[in-house]
A and B are shown apart, each in its own frame.
Chain A
Amino acid sequence: MGLAAGGALAGSWMLRVPQAIASPAPPRIAALGWACAQTLLALGVVPLVIPEIERYGRLVVEPEIPSAVKEIGLRTEPNLELLQSLAPDLIIIDPSLMAAMPRLRGVAPVEVFTIFRPGGRPLDTARGSTEALARRLGIEAQCEAYLARFDATMAAAAERLRRDRGAPLYLVSEIARNRALVFGPNSLYQDVLDRFGLQNAWTGHSGPWGHTSVGLEVLAAVPDARLILMTSRVADVQALLKASPVLRTLPFLRAGRLTVLGNQFFYGGIPAAERFARLLAERLPRDTHEQG
């Protein structure tokens, strides 16, 4: 179960919002984390407030936040005074906000939306959390439809990527001067790669959140690898490639085996996995076969 209780979930079904989706007053939900906000939007529920909306637009990108949603401040410190004056019916948080839970409960009932848990597969956890959230809101049907759409997208993407199963992929989100942030076996993306039968070139340790920083020279260990760059700051990367002799010597960069996916939300739920999968299926075959 992804939707862990803040203590009182099990008995809170009476708080369940009525089934009627078209009812005049939909529930006023405060989504205080990006993963839950993104999932709610994907399920067709528009939250009352979301934190750091502007940055969400740049980093999480999709689903887009409608303009009616209000800003609630930092993800680490959502504004409590504003929250109280908006009087939500339900508050959904990431586990990182647990410390503020007692005070949030004073405003409205609180649910925790989990993606990463020790030993769990992020994509499975996200699926469970999404289903639990839908049950809580009484929108199981929408959830089922959404997950079916997601599975269809994944199947289509897997089909497109069938020819690209050869070379392993490095998933990198950031290249600093001499180090890169690389994603490993317990990241959300590993689950996606597994579904496609693709191989992650980084098999080392990758921390509780699926990523770690390594020296660039370490990446040279898999010379036939391709590099998947998960950032929208491509202009910087290309300038960096031009300026840095070090980067130019990396085999996959020298051969131009580089695919740029744009910003990705590493800690996201199903919608984040979907965005990654879709862009990968769109761009990897194109880049691979164009460059021969």
Chain B
Amino acid sequence: MSKVDTLPARSKVAGAMHPAMLVGLLFAAAAVLAWRDLSAHLPPAAWLSALWSPDVTDPQQMLVHYTVFPRIVMALMSGAALGLAGAVCQQVLRNPLAEPTTLGVSNGAYLALAVTTLWAPSLLAFGREWVALAGGFLAFACVFALTWRRALSPVALVLAGLIVSYYCAVSAQVLVLLNHEYLIGLFIWGAGFLNQQDWSNVAFLAPRFAIALALIAAMVRPLTLLGFDDETARNLGLGLTGARLGALVIAIALSASVVSLVGVLGFVGLAAPALAMLSGARRLSDRLIWAPLCGAGLLWLTDGLVKLIPPGYREMPAGAATALIGAPMLLWLLPRLRAAAPLGGLSPSVPPRLQHPWRVMLGGVALLLLMIWIALAVGVGADGWSWSGFAGIQEFLPWRWPRVVAALSAGATLAVAGTLLQRMTGNPMAAPEVMGVSYGAAMGVIVLLFLFPAHMRAAQIAAGGIGAFVVLALILLFSWRSEFSPERVLLAGVALGAAFGAFIAIALATGDPRIGMMLSLLTGSLYQVGPVEAAVLAVAATMLLLLVPMLSRWLDILPLGQAAARSVGVSMMTSRTIIMLLTALLTATATLAVGLLSLVGFIAPHMARMMGAQRALHQAVLAALIGAILMVAADWAGRVVIFPFQLPAGIFAMMLAGPYLLWLSRPRRALRSQ
């Protein structure tokens, strides 16, 4: 039911595009650049001898043999490996946004490296790649354990994967916030530089890639069946769990190997299969061939472009640059993505419907009020914990109330934005944080931070607002003609998000001292929120949230699919445009206050749904309450836990909500996968 590619008969190939054209173009451009680079070192006649038997006394030959050639091979092989891993993951998880990173690989590796760097640096001498590999696999093992009992159903995998992935990210953020001077090496790795000094990385990756390739080739049939819904696949005689596990382990191993060697090149795994599909590789067997080729071409070309930057200037990591180059390509090809049925299958297990939704909401309101009071009255001071009476509150009220109000508004706003997005797209991975809008806001602030080291808060807000709206305009522009079909909106958002995420990775890799400031902005710190801002945020959030009840009919109907919506007279174009706009406004508003990594917009709607809120309005209200409680609690916890240090609310929101969400998503009653 929920896949993008099993209805070839319906697909009308837009134009006569073949993936070979795209791949050929990528390779041709990359080859020209490589030619240019090589000629700068040696005359073409000497290339072969430099490759096979370099003259030890000639420094140029040695340089070409040990840095230029391995780098080309590494770019090609990493790109191909990530493309293949991405194609397999998207097939198994039946989600065009999935890639190994979705299952926690990159972030697990990142966390493992951060922990090792800080507490057991001597382990790194053995080999960074082993530490990173172990981290990636450990993260996947968690995902696996969490979803085993549900026969690794795709939706459950994606949910658990995202949660584990963000959990690792957030834990790493805590370490980074408190130790960023020590972790510059980690940032440099995280940005994905392709520099090579010998052939050891190639020797490490080549056999692994070859084995994975052979195994995947042997699995084409089961993989094809995995693209159907579970019922069909089972009837065709497929052992679902075994097949899924096998395919995923291969994809994970492959991508973890690459990540461990050259750092985070996440976007390739997402973009390569998408580019292959958009340029005409519809069938799985086609995609398994063309996605790795697209990945290889994309990464090789990117690295060639990166090397054009004259030495001495700030070098750009290939990982980040790939996103900068791949994102526009993805956007350009986006109109070719044909409309598919909504992904559906939103719920991994169908929770019992809430009998008395309003009672639950009242309980939520009571809990929220209690939390607000705690956040205002309980604090830590120079003399330890203090429970202020009503008089005592006044002393610290000017510091505390803006944070509480901002947390509350931002939490509710993000949660509702997430609800709208998940309802409209029918994709459980949809969240305002996943869309590019929040990256846009963060990007605006970062640019400001770098252009004007010393600036005022108002400038920060303006810059964030401009960033958010630029991205919003781009998303609207790119998905306009498709009547905002969910896949396109999401892919456009993810592509833009990746491009902006790349800037952030580059900024981190520079080792700039303002990293601390940037990190706290990104991870949802409410430190900078002043009274005026909090008030404005509250008013804006209230106004936007009041619009939501008017959309509740659309929100109930849209998840049922286009046909159903049209049959009851709902215009796709109008309803989607309005929902998109509202979502973007909500997200931009909240991001300005709490940054990127809060993930409340992803968690809260899921929590509301799993608690049994089925009607759109119920879900929105419940999600808003959950979001508000989470953020207020998280901000308070962030202030008191390691006083006088503070941790961003976004970090605690994730820490608090992750386990609860996993508990909620446990299988209930009879096992019903999907």
A residues with CB within 8 A of B: 4, 55, 59, 70-82, 84-86, 95-96, 98-103, 106, 112, 116, 173-179, 181, 203-205, 207-209, 211-218, 233, 235-236, 239-240, 242-246, 249, 266-267
Contact = CB atoms under 8 A, between A and B. Distances in A.
6 contacts: A76-B517, A84-B395, A98-B455, A179-B195, A204-B313, A207-B510
Given A73-B645, A98-B454, A99-B455, A212 B314 contact: yes
B457 interface: yes
Interface in B600-651: 643-646
Nearest to A231: B182
Closest 10 CB pairs of A and B: A204-B312, A239-B125, A176-B185, A246-B197, A215-B195, A95-B454, A79-B644, A73-B644, A76-B516, A98-B454
Contact of B530 (A103, A215, A217, A233): A103
Contact of A240 (B67, B124, B193, B313): B124
A212 B510 contact: yes
A242 B646 CA distance: 39
A285 B346 CA distance: 69
B512 interface: yes
Given A84-B399, A177-B128, A236-B122, A205 B517 contact: no
Contacts of B514: 96
Contact of A178 (B122, B126, B195): B195
A79 B184 CA distance: 25
B357 interface: no
A179 B188 contact: yes
A181 to B, nearest CB: 5
A267 to B, nearest CB: 5
A71 B509 CA distance: 29
A101 B121 contact: no
Contacts of A82: 381-382, 643-644
Nearest to A117: B453
B644 A71 contact: yes
B97 to A, nearest CB: 30
Interface string B398-427: 111000000000000000000000000000
Nearest to B127: A243
Contacts of A99: 455-457, 460, 528
A74 B177 contact: yes
Given A98-B455, A102-B457, A217-B67, A205 B122 contact: no
B478 interface: no
B144 to A, nearest CB: 29
A81 B399 contact: yes
Interface residues on B, range: 35 or more
Contacts of B179: 55
Contact of A79 (B67, B121, B457, B643): B643
B188 to A, nearest CB: 5
Contacts, number: 164
A47 to B, nearest CB: 15
B315 A215 contact: yes
Contacts of B186: 176
Contacts of A78: 644
Given A96-B453, A99-B455, A243-B125, A81 B396 contact: yes
B527 A181 contact: no
A218 B314 CA distance: 13
Contacts of A266: 513
B71 to A, nearest CB: 9
A178 B121 contact: no
Interface string B186-227: 101100010111101000000000000000000000000000
A39 B133 CA distance: 44
B181 interface: yes
Given A102-B457, A177-B128, A245 B200 contact: yes
Nearest to A236: B121
Contacts of A176: 184-186, 188-189
Interface string B161-179: 0000000000000000111
B257 interface: no
A80 to B, nearest CB: 5
A85 B381 contact: yes
B397 to A, nearest CB: 11
Contacts of B188: 176, 179, 181, 213
B456 A98 contact: yes
A249 B65 CA distance: 14
A236 B124 CA distance: 8
A4 B453 CA distance: 13
Interface in B570-606: none
Interface string B108-127: 00000000000001101111
Interface string B454-474: 111100100000000000000
B527 A205 contact: no
A96 B313 contact: no
B107 interface: no
B324 to A, nearest CB: 18
Contacts of B517: 76, 96
Contacts of A246: 197-198
A36 to B, nearest CB: 14
A178 B196 contact: yes
Contacts of B644: 71-73, 78-79, 82
B530 A102 contact: yes
B516 A213 contact: no
Contacts of B63: 217
